[in-house]
Protein backbone atom coordinates (compact mmCIF):
# COMPACT_ATOMS: atom_id res chain seq x y z
CA UNK A 1 0.00 0.00 0.00
CA UNK A 2 0.95 3.64 -0.42
CA UNK A 3 1.50 5.29 2.97
CA UNK A 4 0.14 8.81 3.61
CA UNK A 5 3.71 10.15 3.83
CA UNK A 6 4.60 8.63 0.46
CA UNK A 7 1.37 9.94 -1.02
CA UNK A 8 2.16 13.49 0.17
CA UNK A 9 5.69 13.24 -1.26
CA UNK A 10 4.36 12.10 -4.65
CA UNK A 11 1.72 14.82 -4.57
CA UNK A 12 4.40 17.48 -4.15
CA UNK A 13 6.33 16.03 -7.11
CA UNK A 14 3.12 16.01 -9.17
CA UNK A 15 2.38 19.67 -8.40
CA UNK A 16 5.97 20.62 -9.24
CA UNK A 17 5.36 19.41 -12.81
CA UNK A 18 2.70 22.14 -13.26
CA UNK A 19 -0.02 19.78 -14.52
CA UNK A 20 -2.85 20.94 -16.78
CA UNK A 21 -6.54 20.42 -16.05
CA UNK A 22 -6.18 16.98 -17.67
CA UNK A 23 -3.03 16.08 -15.71
CA UNK A 24 0.59 15.54 -16.74
CA UNK A 25 1.09 14.88 -20.43
CA UNK A 26 2.60 11.54 -21.43
CA UNK A 27 5.80 13.09 -22.83
CA UNK A 28 6.44 15.07 -19.63
CA UNK A 29 5.79 12.01 -17.46
CA UNK A 30 8.11 9.94 -19.68
CA UNK A 31 10.97 12.42 -19.28
CA UNK A 32 10.51 12.34 -15.50
CA UNK A 33 10.25 8.54 -15.25
CA UNK A 34 13.37 8.02 -17.40
CA UNK A 35 15.42 9.63 -14.62
CA UNK A 36 14.82 6.46 -12.57
CA UNK A 37 17.12 4.54 -15.01
CA UNK A 38 14.61 1.66 -14.99
CA UNK A 39 14.31 -0.45 -18.17
CA UNK A 40 11.88 0.87 -20.75
CA UNK A 41 9.75 -2.28 -20.65
CA UNK A 42 9.22 -1.88 -16.90
CA UNK A 43 8.34 1.81 -17.34
CA UNK A 44 5.88 0.87 -20.09
CA UNK A 45 4.29 -1.71 -17.77
CA UNK A 46 4.08 0.88 -14.98
CA UNK A 47 2.38 3.29 -17.37
CA UNK A 48 -0.19 0.64 -18.33
CA UNK A 49 -0.94 0.02 -14.65
CA UNK A 50 -1.23 3.71 -13.78
CA UNK A 51 -2.97 5.03 -16.93
CA UNK A 52 -6.45 3.98 -15.78
CA UNK A 53 -8.31 6.53 -17.92
CA UNK A 54 -6.34 5.68 -21.09
CA UNK A 55 -6.33 9.34 -22.19
CA UNK A 56 -2.62 10.12 -22.62
CA UNK A 57 -2.44 12.10 -19.34
CA UNK A 58 -1.82 11.10 -15.72
CA UNK A 59 -3.96 12.75 -13.07
CA UNK A 60 -2.76 13.01 -9.49
CA UNK A 61 -3.84 9.54 -8.32
CA UNK A 62 -2.48 7.87 -11.49
CA UNK A 63 0.83 9.71 -11.07
CA UNK A 64 1.06 8.57 -7.42
CA UNK A 65 0.52 4.95 -8.52
CA UNK A 66 3.30 5.24 -11.12
CA UNK A 67 5.73 6.82 -8.64
CA UNK A 68 4.85 4.13 -6.08
CA UNK A 69 5.89 1.30 -8.40
CA UNK A 70 8.98 3.17 -9.64
CA UNK A 71 10.13 3.69 -6.04
CA UNK A 72 9.47 0.03 -5.15
CA UNK A 73 11.52 -1.19 -8.12
CA UNK A 74 14.35 1.24 -7.41
CA UNK A 75 14.72 0.23 -3.73
CA UNK A 76 14.43 -3.47 -4.71
CA UNK A 77 11.47 -3.99 -2.37
CA UNK A 78 9.58 -5.19 -5.46
CA UNK A 79 11.10 -7.23 -8.26
CA UNK A 80 8.02 -7.95 -10.39
CA UNK A 81 5.07 -5.74 -11.25
CA UNK A 82 1.51 -7.05 -10.85
CA UNK A 83 -0.40 -7.98 -13.98
CA UNK A 84 -3.37 -5.91 -12.85
CA UNK A 85 -3.59 -2.87 -10.58
CA UNK A 86 -4.68 -4.01 -7.09
CA UNK A 87 -7.69 -2.17 -5.76
CA UNK A 88 -5.91 -1.54 -2.47
CA UNK A 89 -3.12 0.35 -4.24
CA UNK A 90 -5.62 2.40 -6.20
CA UNK A 91 -7.62 3.31 -3.09
CA UNK A 92 -4.49 4.22 -1.13
CA UNK A 93 -3.42 6.47 -4.03
CA UNK A 94 -6.76 8.25 -3.58
CA UNK A 95 -6.11 8.56 0.15
CA UNK A 96 -8.75 5.95 0.98
CA UNK A 97 -8.44 2.72 2.96
CA UNK A 98 -9.32 -0.49 1.17
CA UNK A 99 -12.40 -2.24 2.51
CA UNK A 100 -11.53 -5.58 4.08
CA UNK A 101 -14.04 -8.37 4.27
CA UNK A 102 -15.23 -9.52 7.69
CA UNK A 103 -14.44 -13.17 7.13
CA UNK A 104 -12.46 -15.45 4.87
CA UNK A 105 -15.71 -16.66 3.25
CA UNK A 106 -16.63 -13.04 2.43
CA UNK A 107 -13.13 -12.41 0.98
CA UNK A 108 -13.45 -15.40 -1.33
CA UNK A 109 -16.92 -14.49 -2.55
CA UNK A 110 -15.77 -12.40 -5.55
CA UNK A 111 -15.24 -15.42 -7.79
CA UNK A 112 -18.61 -16.95 -6.93
CA UNK A 113 -20.20 -13.52 -7.24
CA UNK A 114 -18.86 -13.11 -10.76
CA UNK A 115 -20.08 -16.58 -11.69
CA UNK A 116 -23.53 -15.75 -10.33
CA UNK A 117 -23.56 -12.46 -12.21
CA UNK A 118 -22.77 -14.28 -15.44
CA UNK A 119 -25.75 -16.55 -14.79
CA UNK A 120 -28.07 -13.67 -13.93
CA UNK A 121 -27.54 -11.65 -17.12
CA UNK A 122 -30.92 -11.73 -18.95
CA UNK A 123 -30.93 -13.43 -22.33
CA UNK A 124 -32.02 -10.29 -24.20
CA UNK A 125 -29.23 -8.33 -22.47
CA UNK A 126 -26.72 -11.04 -23.34
CA UNK A 127 -27.60 -10.67 -27.01
CA UNK A 128 -27.21 -6.90 -26.80
CA UNK A 129 -23.91 -7.16 -24.93
CA UNK A 130 -22.75 -9.76 -27.46
CA UNK A 131 -23.24 -7.21 -30.27
CA UNK A 132 -21.18 -4.66 -28.30
CA UNK A 133 -18.49 -7.27 -27.72
CA UNK A 134 -18.33 -8.20 -31.42
CA UNK A 135 -17.85 -4.53 -32.37
CA UNK A 136 -14.88 -4.30 -29.97
CA UNK A 137 -13.48 -7.69 -31.02
CA UNK A 138 -12.52 -6.47 -34.49
CA UNK A 139 -10.14 -9.38 -35.15
CA UNK A 140 -12.63 -12.03 -34.04
CA UNK A 141 -10.27 -13.55 -31.43
CA UNK A 142 -13.02 -14.03 -28.84
CA UNK A 143 -11.35 -11.66 -26.35
CA UNK A 144 -10.99 -7.88 -25.99
CA UNK A 145 -8.25 -5.86 -24.31
CA UNK A 146 -8.68 -3.83 -21.12
CA UNK A 147 -8.14 -0.51 -22.93
CA UNK A 148 -10.90 -1.27 -25.49
CA UNK A 149 -13.35 -2.34 -22.77
CA UNK A 150 -12.59 0.68 -20.57
CA UNK A 151 -13.19 3.02 -23.49
CA UNK A 152 -16.79 1.74 -23.53
CA UNK A 153 -17.14 1.42 -19.72
CA UNK A 154 -16.16 5.09 -19.20
CA UNK A 155 -19.29 6.18 -21.08
CA UNK A 156 -21.27 5.07 -18.01
CA UNK A 157 -19.72 8.04 -16.10
CA UNK A 158 -19.10 5.75 -13.11
CA UNK A 159 -16.06 6.64 -10.96
CA UNK A 160 -12.80 4.97 -11.91
CA UNK A 161 -12.76 3.17 -8.56
CA UNK A 162 -16.07 1.46 -9.39
CA UNK A 163 -14.92 0.49 -12.89
CA UNK A 164 -11.64 -0.93 -11.58
CA UNK A 165 -13.55 -2.87 -8.92
CA UNK A 166 -15.94 -4.29 -11.53
CA UNK A 167 -13.01 -5.21 -13.77
CA UNK A 168 -11.27 -7.04 -10.94
CA UNK A 169 -14.49 -8.95 -10.24
CA UNK A 170 -14.83 -10.27 -13.80
CA UNK A 171 -11.11 -10.58 -14.73
CA UNK A 172 -10.48 -13.16 -12.02
CA UNK A 173 -7.19 -14.38 -13.49
CA UNK A 174 -5.73 -10.91 -14.09
CA UNK A 175 -5.25 -11.53 -17.83
CA UNK A 176 -6.17 -7.95 -18.72
CA UNK A 177 -8.63 -9.38 -21.27
CA UNK A 178 -12.32 -10.36 -21.24
CA UNK A 179 -14.22 -12.99 -23.14
CA UNK A 180 -17.83 -12.39 -24.20
CA UNK A 181 -19.26 -13.94 -20.99
CA UNK A 182 -17.04 -11.83 -18.73
CA UNK A 183 -17.84 -8.74 -20.79
CA UNK A 184 -21.59 -9.38 -20.40
CA UNK A 185 -21.09 -9.80 -16.64
CA UNK A 186 -19.19 -6.49 -16.45
CA UNK A 187 -21.87 -4.68 -18.45
CA UNK A 188 -24.55 -6.17 -16.19
CA UNK A 189 -22.70 -4.94 -13.09
CA UNK A 190 -22.32 -1.46 -14.58
CA UNK A 191 -26.03 -1.23 -15.40
CA UNK A 192 -26.88 -2.55 -11.93
CA UNK A 193 -24.71 0.17 -10.40
CA UNK A 194 -26.32 2.82 -12.60
CA UNK A 195 -29.77 1.67 -11.47
CA UNK A 196 -28.78 2.31 -7.84
CA UNK A 197 -28.02 -1.24 -6.81
CA UNK A 198 -24.92 -2.25 -4.89
CA UNK A 199 -22.82 -4.66 -6.90
CA UNK A 200 -22.41 -6.74 -3.72
CA UNK A 201 -26.11 -6.58 -2.80
CA UNK A 202 -28.34 -9.68 -2.58
CA UNK A 203 -29.95 -8.74 -5.92
CA UNK A 204 -26.66 -9.63 -7.60
CA UNK A 205 -25.04 -12.30 -5.48
CA UNK A 206 -26.60 -14.83 -3.14
CA UNK A 207 -26.62 -13.74 0.51
CA UNK A 208 -23.81 -14.89 2.78
CA UNK A 209 -25.43 -17.08 5.38
CA UNK A 210 -24.35 -16.40 8.96
CA UNK A 211 -26.31 -19.24 10.53
CA UNK A 212 -24.47 -22.26 11.90
CA UNK A 213 -24.24 -25.51 9.92
CA UNK A 214 -26.51 -27.16 12.47
CA UNK A 215 -29.38 -24.80 11.59
CA UNK A 216 -29.15 -24.92 7.76
CA UNK A 217 -27.79 -27.87 5.84
CA UNK A 218 -25.60 -27.55 2.78
CA UNK A 219 -28.42 -28.78 0.54
CA UNK A 220 -30.83 -26.23 1.99
CA UNK A 221 -28.27 -23.46 1.54
CA UNK A 222 -27.70 -24.50 -2.09
CA UNK A 223 -31.45 -24.69 -2.71
CA UNK A 224 -31.90 -21.25 -1.14
CA UNK A 225 -29.15 -19.84 -3.35
CA UNK A 226 -30.75 -21.37 -6.45
CA UNK A 227 -34.15 -19.93 -5.55
CA UNK A 228 -32.55 -16.58 -4.82
CA UNK A 229 -30.90 -16.70 -8.23
CA UNK A 230 -34.24 -17.46 -9.86
CA UNK A 231 -35.90 -14.57 -8.04
CA UNK A 232 -33.03 -12.28 -8.97
CA UNK A 233 -33.25 -13.43 -12.58
CA UNK A 234 -36.97 -12.64 -12.69
CA UNK A 235 -36.35 -9.27 -11.04
CA UNK A 236 -33.67 -8.46 -13.57
CA UNK A 237 -35.91 -9.54 -16.42
CA UNK A 238 -38.71 -7.34 -15.05
CA UNK A 239 -36.34 -4.40 -14.72
CA UNK A 240 -35.05 -5.06 -18.22
CA UNK A 241 -38.59 -5.22 -19.59
CA UNK A 242 -39.49 -2.00 -17.80
CA UNK A 243 -36.39 -0.33 -19.16
CA UNK A 244 -37.17 -1.63 -22.65
CA UNK A 245 -40.72 -0.30 -22.31
CA UNK A 246 -39.43 3.09 -21.19
CA UNK A 247 -36.99 3.09 -24.07
CA UNK A 248 -39.79 2.26 -26.51
CA UNK A 249 -41.98 4.99 -25.05
CA UNK A 250 -39.14 7.48 -25.30
CA UNK A 251 -38.46 6.31 -28.85
CA UNK A 252 -42.17 6.64 -29.68
CA UNK A 253 -42.20 10.15 -28.23
CA UNK A 254 -39.13 11.09 -30.26
CA UNK A 255 -40.68 9.64 -33.42
CA UNK A 256 -43.94 11.51 -32.78
CA UNK A 257 -41.99 14.74 -32.25
CA UNK A 258 -40.01 14.08 -35.41
CA UNK A 259 -43.22 13.33 -37.32
CA UNK A 260 -44.82 16.54 -36.07
CA UNK A 261 -41.73 18.50 -37.01
CA UNK A 262 -41.73 16.88 -40.46
CA UNK A 263 -45.40 17.75 -40.95
CA UNK A 264 -44.71 21.37 -40.02
CA UNK A 265 -41.71 21.40 -42.30
CA UNK A 266 -43.79 19.85 -45.10
CA UNK A 267 -46.46 22.55 -44.71
CA UNK A 268 -43.80 25.24 -44.68
CA UNK A 269 -42.17 23.78 -47.79
CA UNK A 270 -45.55 23.71 -49.60
CA UNK A 271 -46.05 27.38 -48.79
CA UNK A 272 -42.55 28.13 -50.02
CA UNK A 273 -43.24 26.14 -53.19
CA UNK A 274 -46.44 28.10 -53.84
CA UNK A 275 -44.63 31.39 -53.28
CA UNK A 276 -41.83 30.33 -55.59
CA UNK A 277 -44.33 29.20 -58.24
CA UNK A 278 -46.12 32.55 -58.08
CA UNK A 279 -42.83 34.40 -58.22
CA UNK A 280 -41.72 32.25 -61.15
CA UNK A 281 -44.88 33.09 -63.11
CA UNK A 282 -44.44 36.80 -62.37
CA UNK A 283 -40.80 36.70 -63.43
CA UNK A 284 -41.79 34.84 -66.64
CA UNK A 285 -44.32 37.56 -67.56
CA UNK A 286 -41.78 40.30 -66.86
CA UNK A 287 -39.22 38.49 -68.99
CA UNK A 288 -41.68 38.26 -71.92
CA UNK A 289 -42.45 41.96 -71.62
CA UNK A 290 -38.75 42.78 -71.62
CA UNK A 291 -38.27 40.65 -74.75
CA UNK A 292 -41.08 42.53 -76.55
CA UNK A 293 -39.64 45.88 -75.45
CA UNK A 294 -36.22 44.81 -76.67
CA UNK A 295 -37.65 43.80 -80.04
CA UNK A 296 -39.42 47.16 -80.40
CA UNK A 297 -36.34 49.08 -79.42
CA UNK A 298 -34.07 47.22 -81.82
CA UNK A 299 -35.17 49.32 -84.84
CA UNK A 300 -34.69 52.54 -82.92
CA UNK A 301 -31.31 51.28 -81.87
CA UNK A 302 -30.28 50.63 -85.49
CA UNK A 303 -31.33 54.18 -86.49
CA UNK A 304 -29.51 55.71 -83.54
CA UNK A 305 -26.50 53.60 -84.39
CA UNK A 306 -26.47 54.91 -87.98
CA UNK A 307 -26.83 58.50 -86.75
CA UNK A 308 -24.01 57.89 -84.30
CA UNK A 309 -21.73 56.53 -87.02
CA UNK A 310 -22.55 59.55 -89.29
CA UNK A 311 -21.93 62.00 -86.48
CA UNK A 312 -18.69 60.17 -85.70
CA UNK A 313 -17.54 60.56 -89.34
CA UNK A 314 -18.46 64.27 -89.33
CA UNK A 315 -16.56 64.68 -86.11
CA UNK A 316 -13.48 63.09 -87.61
CA UNK A 317 -13.75 65.38 -90.70
CA UNK A 318 -14.09 68.45 -88.49
CA UNK A 319 -11.12 67.33 -86.44
CA UNK A 320 -9.07 67.01 -89.63
CA UNK A 321 -10.16 70.45 -90.87
CA UNK A 322 -9.42 71.92 -87.50
CA UNK A 323 -5.95 70.44 -87.61
CA UNK A 324 -5.29 71.90 -91.03
CA UNK A 325 -6.52 75.37 -89.99
CA UNK A 326 -4.42 75.16 -86.86
CA UNK A 327 -1.35 74.31 -88.94
CA UNK A 328 -2.00 77.24 -91.32
CA UNK A 329 -2.57 79.56 -88.39
CA UNK A 330 0.64 78.43 -86.79
CA UNK A 331 2.55 78.95 -90.03
CA UNK A 332 1.05 82.50 -90.38
CA UNK A 333 1.97 83.24 -86.81
CA UNK A 334 5.50 82.04 -87.42
CA UNK A 335 5.77 84.23 -90.59
CA UNK A 336 4.39 87.24 -88.75
CA UNK A 337 6.92 86.70 -86.00
CA UNK A 338 9.72 86.47 -88.57
CA UNK A 339 8.57 89.67 -90.30
CA UNK A 340 8.23 91.46 -86.95
CA UNK A 341 11.76 90.54 -86.04
CA UNK A 342 12.99 91.66 -89.48
CA UNK A 343 11.23 95.05 -89.12
CA UNK A 344 12.72 95.38 -85.66
CA UNK A 345 16.18 94.64 -87.00
CA UNK A 346 15.73 97.13 -89.86
CA UNK A 347 14.52 99.79 -87.44
CA UNK A 348 17.50 99.18 -85.20
CA UNK A 349 19.87 99.36 -88.19
CA UNK A 350 18.19 102.61 -89.37
CA UNK A 351 18.64 104.16 -85.95
CA UNK A 352 22.30 103.13 -85.97
CA UNK A 353 22.90 104.65 -89.45
CA UNK A 354 20.96 107.81 -88.51
CA UNK A 355 23.14 108.25 -85.45
CA UNK A 356 26.27 107.74 -87.49
CA UNK A 357 25.01 110.27 -90.10
CA UNK A 358 24.30 112.85 -87.39
CA UNK A 359 27.76 112.35 -85.98
CA UNK A 360 29.36 112.76 -89.43
CA UNK A 361 27.32 115.92 -90.14
CA UNK A 362 28.27 117.34 -86.74
CA UNK A 363 31.89 116.56 -87.42
CA UNK A 364 31.71 118.10 -90.92
CA UNK A 365 30.06 121.23 -89.46
CA UNK A 366 32.86 121.59 -86.92
CA UNK A 367 35.45 121.26 -89.71
CA UNK A 368 33.74 123.99 -91.75
CA UNK A 369 33.60 126.24 -88.70
CA UNK A 370 37.33 125.69 -88.04
CA UNK A 371 38.14 126.31 -91.70
CA UNK A 372 36.10 129.54 -91.73
CA UNK A 373 37.85 130.67 -88.55
CA UNK A 374 41.26 129.96 -90.04
CA UNK A 375 40.29 131.85 -93.25
CA UNK A 376 39.09 134.88 -91.28
CA UNK A 377 42.26 134.93 -89.22
CA UNK A 378 44.36 134.70 -92.34
CA UNK A 379 42.49 137.56 -94.00
CA UNK A 380 42.86 139.65 -90.84
CA UNK A 381 46.54 138.98 -90.74
CA UNK A 382 47.03 139.98 -94.33
CA UNK A 383 45.09 143.20 -93.73
CA UNK A 384 47.21 144.20 -90.78
CA UNK A 385 50.35 143.65 -92.72
Dmax over Cα atoms in the chain, in whole Å? 215
Collapse the DSSP code of 25 into the 3-class scheme (helix H, G, I; strand E, B; otherwise coil) and give the result.
strand
Are the CB atoms for 69 and 85 separated by under 8 Å?
A: no
User: Of 27-31, 123-127, 177-181, which range is least confident?
Assistant: 123-127
Give the pLDDT of residue 242. 67
Domains of the chain by start residue, with CATH: 4-94 (1.10.238.10), 123-195 (1.10.238.10)
pLDDT (tens digit per residue) in 308-321? 999 999 999 999 99
Residue with the larger pLDDT of the pair 106 and 58: 58
Are the CB atoms for 186 and 166 separated by under 8 Å?
A: yes
Would you mind telling me the total number of residues written for the chain in this entry? Answer: 385
Is a pLDDT exceeding 70 seen at residue 219? no
pLDDT (tens digit per residue) in 321-373? 999 999 999 998 999 899 999 999 999 999 999 999 999 999 999 999 999 99
Give the pLDDT of residue 110. 40
Angle at 282 between CA 278 and CA 284, to 5 degrees: 115
- Beta strand extents in 158-234 (DSSP E only): 177-179
**pLDDT-derived band of residue 97, with 50, 70 and 90 as boundaries?**
low
Query: Is the model's pTM score more than 0.85?
Result: no
Collapse the DSSP code of 364 into the 3-class scheme (helix H, G, I; strand E, B; otherwise coil) and give the result.
helix
pLDDT (tens digit per residue) in 254-305? 888 888 888 888 888 888 988 888 888 888 889 988 888 888 888 888 888 8
Tell me the pLDDT of the chain averaged across its residues. 80
Amino acid sequence: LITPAERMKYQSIYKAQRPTDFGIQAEAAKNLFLKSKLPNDQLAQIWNLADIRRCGYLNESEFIIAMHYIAKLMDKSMTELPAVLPQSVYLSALGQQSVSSPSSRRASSITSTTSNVEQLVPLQDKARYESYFNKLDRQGRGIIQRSDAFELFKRSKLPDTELVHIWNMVDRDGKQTLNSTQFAAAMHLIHSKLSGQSIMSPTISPPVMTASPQMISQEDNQELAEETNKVNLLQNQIETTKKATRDLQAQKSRIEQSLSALKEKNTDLRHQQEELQSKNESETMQLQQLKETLSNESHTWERVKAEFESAEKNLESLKKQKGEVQNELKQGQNENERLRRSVHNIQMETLRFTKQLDELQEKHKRKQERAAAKKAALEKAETER
